[in-house]
Structure 1
């Protein structure tokens, strides 16, 4: 991003140069920068934004991150995205769709500090970031991003949403839930005891008969029963 380097660079394009030579020179210049155009310190934030499920959330987060870049980085990124959008508009002739441009420029603009397995797994999300920048370049670079919600606003919005619906069993106080269960069990015990007392008071003879049937019959002549008779010692 040194202006001296840009001013000293030969910009006269010879008609004999092939387009792939010019595009390769652009990619080489971006790779040779001391740091990626979208900066190491924001790389994880860009990747995290690309992993959001909602497309509007992705665009909003990337919009905010772009405006946190240094002014020179943001201006060069804007020039590049405007150019790539023009290239994508002619994809029928050059076969360079937005997805293809993301594959080419994603690893260049968001190159990691270290080549790790995690960095390789994030390549597809780097491509998604570039696709979003190309497709939404006018909004992202020409408008100011919305201010993110503060912690107090987030807490208030969550509280309103939680108040609008009844709490589930897992969200209710455990002491109240257990107290209700204990009360119900006690009522069941009382009803069983009361019903037993009523049956006893209404038919006491049945209880006496059942108890007498349980007593052994000492006068029984059952031969199987051995009666032990006391014996006197010989004098």
Structure 2
């Protein structure tokens, strides 16, 4: 059984990745992200994240992503840094665990960032959460995993 607090919080990526089934690790991480009071990348920055991902120049894009990350609540920015370094290590084992940046973006995208609920809701679907993610906003979703790793 994976002990989330000790394994993930200590960021022993190599040990966790080699010792546990990668899908168990991914599921534990997703559960943690879903338990946060707001999405890790904070809903109020959704538009800025999406616009930054449209920047073609990688150096300019990276600087903009870092600027946006610094506007996150400090504990969320710190958590994102740990998570993305961990996910980057996860992709280093992709030949063995089949967890590519594209796959990780699909798995974690909805847990990392969702659009805020509209101020007024219609009678249909009012109770359903909004799940617009950066992967939805950017057709190059597989690239997002690499960009996110670089933002903090």
Q: TM-score range by the shorter chain?
A: 0.5 to 0.7
Q: SS of 1:130's equivalent?
A: helix
Change (3 A) 1:119 1:80: closer
> Taking CA–CA contacts closer than 8 Å with sequence separation of 6 or more, which of the two structures ends up with the larger relative contact order?
2
SS at match of 1:35: coil
Unaligned runs of 5+ residues in structure 1 are: 1-8, 142-235
Aligned residues: 127
1:73 counterpart = 2:76: yes
Alpha carbons of 1:42 and 1:127: their partners in 2 closer, same or farther (altered >3 Å)? Answer: farther
Q: Verify the 8 A CA contact 2:134 2:141 in the aligned structure 1.
A: no
TM-score, normalized by length of structure 1?
A: 0.46
Give the deviation of 1:82 after TM superposition: 1.1
Alignment of 1:1-235 (within 5 A): 11=6, 18-114=21-117, 115=130, 121-122=136-137, 124=139, 128-134=143-149, 136=150, 140-141=151-152
Number of the residue aligned with 2:127: none
Point out the structure with max Rg over C-alpha. Answer: 1
* Counterpart Cα distance in 2 of 1:30 and 1:81: 13
Distance in 2, matches of 1:49 and 1:59, equals 8
**Cα deviation code 1:115-143 (max 9, x no counterpart):** 37898842646664433022x2xxx43xx
Contact 2:50 2:138 in 1 (8 A): no
Cα 1:129/1:55, change in 2 over 3 Å: same
Which whole-Å deviations, capped at 9, do the CAs of 1:131-166 have from their partners, x for residues lacking one? 3022x2xxx43xxxxxxxxxxxxxxxxxxxxxxxxx
Aligned residue number for residue 196 of structure 1: none
Gapped regions of structure 2 (runs ≥ 5)? 8-18, 118-129
CA contact under 8 A between 2:46 and 2:113: conserved in structure 1?
A: yes
1:99 deviation in Å? 2.4
Aligned to 1:171: none
Once residues 81 and 131 of structure 2 are traced to their aligned partners in structure 1, the CA distance between those partners, rounded to angstroms, is: 29
Aligned to 1:176: none
The CA deviation at 1:53 is 2.5
The alpha-carbon deviation at position 27 of structure 1 amounts to 0.1
Is the contact between residue 109 and residue 135 of structure 2 (CA under 8 Å) also seen in structure 1? no
